[in-house]
Amino acid sequence: MKQTIRQFALSLGIDDVGFAAVADYNSPRSPKIETISPDIKSIIVLVYKELSSCASADKDIAMSGRQALYDFARTTNYRVARYLESQYHANTFPVPPAQPFAMLKETGGAVGQVSLRHAAKAAGLGVFGRHNLIIHPRFGTRVLFSAVLTDLDLLSDPPLTDELCNDCNLCVEECPARALDEEGKTDVNKCFRTCQPYGLGGNIAFWKNVLAASPEEQKRMMGSVEYWRLYQSILVGNQYYCFNCLSVCPIGTET
């Protein structure tokens, strides 16, 4: 069954596929998978190679490559889930590559229902590198994931044990937020503020300033580039302005 599902997923243009039994998924800081449905037994993790545009100095172009990947992943999540439902009468629960995820006060909103990095690791698709991202054995760091959870009982693929990070430290040095200085931990607040300057934090700060400003100043602020960028960010989804830890990594040359 795994082979048939894998072949179907690859035929859609997905770059790689891995399987993890829920018992092998270990993400201590994530919500329990049972909260989505107590019937879930397996995670099918889908891998997408990031486009080379992620290294562009033009962050709108870099982001548009990312948006194209997100759109494709949302479609393939549906196609794989629909395949499992029609072929095997399975129940399915797609996990998106990005939003939406739970907005909880305790987590500051920044925790997905399923940690795709930990799911990818459990599915034998890669190992953590110094940047706290998963490195895929063929495609390296520049991969993203989505997943389909299912009540089908599928065995985990063999875990990868190879060390893939070469400790070059480029991701640490090129992080403008210094969010990777402490090994094994991403300083989420530092990363957030820098990679999403027009995300939730930037948005709240802008409107706080508007509320405190004089009517003339408020008019000026509505005509500012900062407001236009905030508006665009809300309109088209979260806007990343930094891809450094991905794009500087020398691991993974396969296209």
- Taking the least distance from each CB to ligand B12, the nearer of 67 and 89 is 67
Question: What are the residues binding ligand B12 (CB under 6 A)?
Answer: 27, 29-30, 97-98, 101, 110-112, 114-117, 128, 131-134, 141, 143-145, 184-186, 188, 191-192, 195-196, 240, 242-243, 245-246
- Cβ 137 vs Cβ 164: under 8 Å: yes
Euclidean distance between CA atoms 24 and 47, whole angstroms: 19
- Taking the least distance from each CB to ligand B12, the nearer of 52 and 87 is 52
CB 153 to ligand B12: min, Å: 23
Euclidean distance between CA atoms 125 and 122, whole angstroms: 8
191, 173, 193, 172: which is closest to 183 by C-alpha?
Answer: 172
255, 24, 197: which is closest to 122 by C-alpha?
Answer: 24
- Taking the least distance from each CB to ligand B12, the nearer of 198 and 243 is 243
Which residue minimizes CB distance to ligand B12?
112
Calculate the CA 7 to chain-centre distance: 24
CB 35 to ligand B12: min, Å: 14
128, 124, 154: which is closest to 141 by C-alpha?
Answer: 128
Q: CB atoms < 10 A from the CB of 21, how many? A: 16
CB 148 to ligand B12: min, Å: 13
- Taking the least distance from each CB to ligand B12, the nearer of 97 and 197 is 97
CB 92 to ligand B12: min, Å: 17
Indicate the angle between helix axes 188-195 and 200-212, nearest 10 degrees.
70
- Taking the least distance from each CB to ligand B12, the nearer of 91 and 132 is 132
CB 169 to ligand B12: min, Å: 13
Q: CB atoms < 10 A from the CB of 204, how many? A: 10
- Taking the least distance from each CB to ligand B12, the nearer of 101 and 206 is 101
Q: Which residues contact 98 (CB under 8 A, 6 or more apart)?
A: 70, 237, 238
CB 144 to ligand B12: min, Å: 3
